[in-house]
A = this chain, B = another copy of it.
Amino acid sequence: MDIRLPAEFAIIARHFKQLAGPGALGLADDAAVLTPPANRQLVISADAMVQGVHFLPDDPPETIGRKLLRVNLSDLAAMGADPLGYLLTVSVPKDTPDAWFAAFAAGLAQDQAHFGISLLGGDTTSTPGPVSLSATVLGHVAPGAALTRAGARAGDFIYVTGTIGDGALGLRARRGDIADPDGFLAGRYRLPQPRLGLALAGIASAAMDISDGLLQDLGHVCRASGLGAEIHAPLVPRSPAACAAGPAWLPLCLTGGDDYELLLAVPPSAEAALLAEARRGQVPMTRIGTFVEDAARFDVLDASGMTMVIPQAGWSHF
């Protein structure tokens, strides 16, 4: 009897095997086997992405795998962890052409090289529905050095990296609601930039990545730390493209999500060290407000110091 490899394994061999790193056993075994880095804690996060929800049907396959990877890497960045590798599940329609897999894997290869990680394992299946992806990323951190959402203290400054709102505006630009002549906003939606590589242990007292909207995610840090917050909307850094969209889009910038920037709590005494580290890492870093003792307070102030009313704090799937 002749036992040939069926198409599924041919796809894996042709497109995914090149992505496999040490421990992946060539993606040809039941699981990956790896020796954990000595004297480090493991940091692990998993995310799913569904076509029509997290990316658009006409997004190029090169970028959707990269977006998934970057969204996950952003979670590691928020913990102050260094990335190690990832596992991937890919569920696509049966008639998905070989060129789709080639482009999808080429995008991943590019980001693997950029972030110094490799594929450890995963699963490829068919689906009668939209393309559904998931990734689990593994990273590591010095024992006890992981940044959480729970460490902020009253009086800590609220800092964000990069610019806020571009991802949400980018989605609207893709839908034709906003002009985006050079594609900057759409690009920010399609390919977030995880803020890996900043040495924030001993500087930030709490951290998270902004994925569901600045206000909602700030609310998470407040709840985890038992604090309230006051931020100044005019201080929230927006890109030239986001500013050009006009002031009517400010609420969406604050609540839209898909930023994958870091939100940090920083004691005033650590501010100078934060800004030095931001310069070293060439990451824009902006102070937008302060954590306050009163857990019932959550104020977003406008240019005249008046409290803004924003209808929906952030993104929810349900």
A-side residues, CB < 8 A to B, are 1-9, 11, 25, 28-36, 41-50, 52-54, 75-76, 78-79, 81, 87-91, 94, 96, 120-130, 132, 134, 136, 138-139, 141, 143, 146, 148-150, 207-209, 215-216, 218-220, 222-224, 298-300, 307-310, 313-318
Contacts and interface: CB of A to CB of B under 8 A. Distances in A.
A155 B197 CA distance: 52
B129 A50 contact: yes
Given A8-B318, A75-B31, A53 B125 contact: yes
A61 B1 CA distance: 40
A54 B124 CA distance: 12
Give this chain's copy count.
2
A132 B220 CA distance: 27
Contacts of A33: 41-43, 79, 141, 146, 148
30 contacts: A1-B215, A1-B298, A1-B313, A5-B219, A6-B216, A7-B317, A8-B316, A28-B149, A29-B150, A30-B75, A30-B78, A31-B75, A31-B146, A33-B148, A35-B41, A44-B138, A45-B87, A46-B87, A47-B123, A48-B89, A48-B125, A48-B132, A50-B91, A50-B128, A52-B128, A53-B127, A89-B134, A125-B317, A127-B130, A128-B129
